Amino acid sequence: MTTEPVRDTKAMLSGMTPSLDAKDYVFCTTEDEQLAVQAAPSSLGWLREAEGVSLILPAADAQRLGFDTTLPMRRITLNVFSSLEGVGLTAAVATALANHNISCNMVAAYHHDHVFVPTADAEEAMRVLLELQAAVG
């Protein structure tokens, strides 16, 4: 069964149903192509930038590969099938978190948006996002 992607801002927010991943992740970068290839199988995300390859790795894998793991993050998946053309979801989520002094890194994939927040702020971030969802719904 194929579900149509949601484009309407209010519908995306009211249906976002955030869920918190139990693992810690780390954003890493390397100019070493071999290291990037070695890390790729366990990465959640991989993007080539002018300065090198950026990776999102489980913290344990990042540590094993010698990356800096001093800023562990938790992933919150927004479980609405948001359209790639949808407008407002990222802005509303980032603003709600910023209003509570919680930093976030947003990663949009094909089916869902993912919010990475510092591990220490993860439970508070979930509370904020659930409140946002309830206020719109």
- CATH number of domain containing 29: 3.30.2130.10
Q: Is residue 13 part of a domain?
A: yes
Q: Is residue 2 part of a domain?
A: no
Q: Is residue 55 part of a domain?
A: yes
* pLDDT of residue 1 exceeding 80: no
In the structure, what pLDDT confidence band is assigned to residue 88 with cuts at 50, 70 and 90? confident
Q: Is residue 1 part of a domain?
A: no
pLDDT at 82: 86
Q: Where are the beta strands (DSSP E) in the chain?
A: 18-30, 45-49, 52-58, 73-78, 105-108, 113-118
Residue 69 lies in domain = 9-136
Task: Decide: helix, strand or coil at residue 24.
Answer: strand
Mean pLDDT of 8-12: 85
Q: What's the pTM?
A: 0.93
How far apart (Å, rounded) are the C-alpha atoms in residues 71 and 38?
21
Task: Decide: helix, strand or coil at residue 75.
Answer: strand
- How many domains, the chain? 1
CA distances from residue 22 to 74, 119, 122 in whole angstroms, order as listed: 7, 10, 10
Q: What are phi and psi of 57, to 5 degrees?
A: -120, 150
Q: Is residue 114 part of a domain?
A: yes
Q: Is residue 48 part of a domain?
A: yes
